[in-house]
Amino acid sequence: MTDQQQDDGTRKVAELVDQARICMLTTMTADGTHVSRPMALQDVEFDGDLWFFALDDSAKAEEIRRNPQVNVAFADDKHQAWTSVSGTADLVHDRARMEELWAPPLKVWFPDGVDTLGAVLIRVRAETAEWWEASSSRTRRLIGSVRAAVTGDPGKFPAENHTERLG
């Protein structure tokens, strides 16, 4: 893969992630069970890292300490796009970065803002991303769905699917 192809792949993932904004963060519990929960993405400038606010004593923070491999899944029904990002998470105690990423809606969970006791950032260093994007035309998707069902060939559905290596 050329540097240009990797840059193009990162830009495409950035566009898809930015459009979706809300995701499901999946971690693994001590007994190996996967747990997903909704999270709001904090950084709009995707450069290979995803940023989230959390509490240092939360289950997700403990799960990340134990097993930092995570998945972050975005669904954007409006644009008919889905993105799954796999990577390694860590907990970041950086007040300056918290202030940079702070958004007023976070006050619901962090009543004292970045001064909330135990506030921490989760950084996910993206390694790979797989994305699917369907045609924006409802008619084209409907016709493609019918064609795929009749022929038994899911390849007839008008959608793209790509895997990008990011890290």
CA distance 5 to 7: 5
Categorize the per-residue pLDDT at 156 as very low, low, confident or very high, splitting at 50, 70 and 90.
very low
CB 166 within 8 A of CB 48: yes
What average pLDDT does the segment 147-155 reach? Answer: 50
Q: For the chain, how many structural domains are there in total?
A: 1
Per-residue buried b or exposed e for 121-153, using 16+ beta carbons within 10 Å of the residue's own CB: bbbbebebbebbbbbeeeeebeebeeebeeeee
Across the range 109-126, mean pLDDT stands at 96
Residue 111 token pair: 């009543």
Could you list the residue range(s) of the whole structural domain that residue 129 is in? 3-165
Q: What is the pLDDT of residue 151?
A: 47
What is the average pLDDT score of the chain? Answer: 83
Percent of the chain's residues with pLDDT above 90:
58
Structure tokens at 45: 């400038």
77-81, 82-86, 149-153, 162-166: least confidently modelled range: 149-153
> For the domain that residue 25 is a member of, what is the CATH number?
2.30.110.10
Task: Give the tens place of pLDDT for each residue, 24-54.
Answer: 999 999 999 999 999 998 876 677 899 999 9
The dihedral sign for the CA sequence 93, 103, 13, 66: positive
Question: Over the stretch 54-81, which tens digit does the pLDDT of each residue have?
Answer: 999 999 999 999 999 999 999 998 888 9
